[in-house]
Amino acid sequence: MRVQMLGLCRFSYVGLRGYQKDHASVEERRAFLYDPDRLARRWLWFTTLALPGWLAQTDGDFTLVIMTGPDLPEPYLSHLRELVAATPQLRLELVPPMERHLEACRAAIAPHVDPGADVIGHFRHDDDDAVALDYVAAARQDFAQVSGLWRQDRRLSLDHSRGLMLRAGAGGASFVPRIAHNMGVALTIFLPPDQPQTALHFNHTRLPLWMPGVAVTRPLMFIRSIHADSDSGDMGPGLTWQIEEADLNRQLSRRFGLARADLDGLARAAA
């Protein structure tokens, strides 16, 4: 069974709806998203936390679409163009402002759906979160174990739910280990290639209304950041698990390719 892993990362996309922070007009949303200080912080989160994992996936057979607007200020638009030109797995879609956010997401994803695939593993990724270096490989391998369940409804969610909540403060990064179901990061929605939906079409907090789901609680698979610019600053429900400080630093390096000192600097800059 041919599975295409296909994700969407929105980088300061100017459009209405789709976010927890509402704005009354496109102009108001643009002024908020394109504030120079905010853009500088978002780029720092993206390049320091989110990007390293995608550049070093153990399974390189995936596509991550970066969605932004055609008027994204420089130098960020040029930086994104250079990034996707150098990385075969990344695509850039410049989507004009749209009132209906899900239609905008579909416009970004649709050109990259492989009609020859049997299943599309859709995922969303925020520009200030991280997935483990083997997320793509694990999603594909774990789906193979439960593909019979997918065949019943031709819809299935696969939730890699063990993660770290990163809180940014003036003293650096602090981490809360959590098992948090359907957080949205490291969550894969498996659909047929002829379906119009993407991962964004399904509210990740209400997935059981639409499809069966499987939770995989090991190994450590994601980092979700919580800071002043977060669309949602809520950690959400979950179960706490324990990790020693020395092991935490090893896991950051081994699982995510990240250095604690870099994350401390990122957190201080964001704070």
**Contact assessment for residue 124 and residue 197, using Cβ atoms and an 8 Å cutoff:** no
Sheet holding 119-124, edge to edge: 90-94, 63-68, 3-10, 119-124, 187-191, 156-160, 213-216
pLDDT beyond 80 at 17: no
Q: What share of the chain is helix, strand, coil (3-state, %, to 5)?
A: 35, 25, 40
pLDDT beyond 80 at 120: yes
pLDDT beyond 90 at 227: no
Residue 21's pLDDT is 66
> Rounded mean pLDDT of 224-248?
85
User: Residue type for 188, please?
Assistant: T
Domains and CATH numbers, the chain: 3-270 (3.90.550)
Residue 79's pLDDT is 98
pLDDT beyond 90 at 93: yes
